[in-house]
A and B are shown apart, each in its own frame.
Chain A
């Protein structure tokens, strides 16, 4: 009889596959910066700093000073404080939109993909197509009007439009997964569809959904800036978009601090989340890892 001596090569394959993954330290810089941003936001929520963003001072368009680190705007408001408060606003918009749109998109997309060409699939695709047919800014304006300026109108509009992209990719990925042998095996074993989706499909969608969520976060933060610039976004609060909108008049007068502060903060956050998503994709894409393992072996 052939002695099975599979232990050695198997271990080596496992080690090679492991080394093909990026080490956790690759996440560190981006995580550190994201942590700083979160710290700013949490501090604002707890009332530690950035509370004086609305105070109207006497000195307008002042340069940086002891009292106003980054100077003041046209109304004499402190730009540094406004920048901090706007960071919190960005998270207030980005987080709920990212979480909810990914949940909705993931759930509907997975159902549509698993029950491909059934009525569920048709219904989800119809909904996706319909929502994507509405111009985004028109949709936000209409919702804001319909909800008569409700603070969540913008969130709602973003969630309602952002989930469709997630649903599309999730549907495609689920269709691919559903054709794999172990899904058929689960079916052959007599598992209920709901259980198959939860136990055997969802774990394979997690990396994809996390990446989708970070993209939705970025998209929400950026969309807020544009919407606020257009005057249909953040109301009664401060955001990077509001600051950039103010700056449109200041730049002509040769005053850049408002614009630079908001843009730099926005750039830093978007860049960081993007980096995280990329690192994450590298680490959790099993195909990339396997390809690497083959090359090493």
Chain B
């Protein structure tokens, strides 16, 4: 078996506040190989986003502590890694698509300029080439006139467009591990399906490991091979997506699945 891209063993995240510490992630173990697609599902506040930030090394400092047995990215231990070295790792291998797309773009730079500078840094290519890469990535997402889009500023974009810009940017960066935190919350169902299709196709093509955080079971069912259910900082059940949907074992998973609204007619889940 090849070495996994991401390997978490017993990872914990603690937040320290005025009234003591609270544990947001409580001993999570996960493993993702190249090309794997894992959906991480759970209710608000269960620690999904904290886990994502821990992997990205973006926990607030001071204020949060990361501990545990190990957290390896391509064999490199990330727990206790100094910030300087972590920056290198982030820049080389990690991409996060955040939950709130509009805030993630710098308001004073045009879309093209920011995509360009990020792609240049990630891939080490020329400005021209970076612009081409940006345009190519955007072209995959059905965004209309791309030349005009590149010259626009973030406040001129709709939420759905900025979200797709971020997805395009993530595609263009070709990371080892892509973490998506509710990547398509601002998209309507058809656009969402198309964007996720592109995303998963890329992951397959480039061998990118995908960690998809969501509370939408439909997304997980359609685009992930495996599903992990998180509750109060722990992963309570992890199984191939099909198995989890058809034969949930943990009572919380059953409760979650039962909470999905269903049409009385055909079962067109996912």
Contact = CB atoms under 8 A, between A and B. Distances in A.
B254 interface: no
Interface residues of A, number: 29
Q: Which 6 A-B pairs have the closest CB atoms?
A: A190-B91, A181-B103, A181-B104, A190-B90, A4-B144, A182-B106
A181 B102 contact: yes
Contacts of A191: 87, 91, 121
Interface of A: 1-7, 10, 13-14, 17, 117, 180-182, 184-192, 200, 203-204, 286, 290
B191 A188 contact: no
B156 A182 contact: no
B89 to A, nearest CB: 8
Given A2-B188, A2-B191, A13-B156, A182 B103 contact: yes
Contact of A1 (B96, B105, B142): B142
Contacts of B161: 4, 6
Interface in B158-190: 158, 161, 188, 190
19 contacts: A4-B143, A7-B144, A7-B145, A180-B103, A181-B102, A181-B104, A184-B104, A187-B90, A188-B95, A188-B96, A190-B89, A190-B90, A190-B91, A191-B91, A191-B121, A192-B87, A203-B108, A204-B107, A290-B155
Interface residues of B, number: 39
Contact of A181 (B92, B100, B144, B191): B100
A13 B145 CA distance: 17
A189 B116 CA distance: 13
Interface centre among A5, A189, A200 (most CB of B within 10 A): A189
Contacts of B191: 2
A264 to B, nearest CB: 41
B118 interface: yes
Contacts of A286: 107
Contact of B144 (A6, A117, A180, A189): A6
A192 B122 CA distance: 14
Contacts of B155: 13, 17, 290
A190 B117 CA distance: 12
Nearest to A186: B106
A76 B59 CA distance: 72
A188 B94 contact: yes
B157 interface: yes
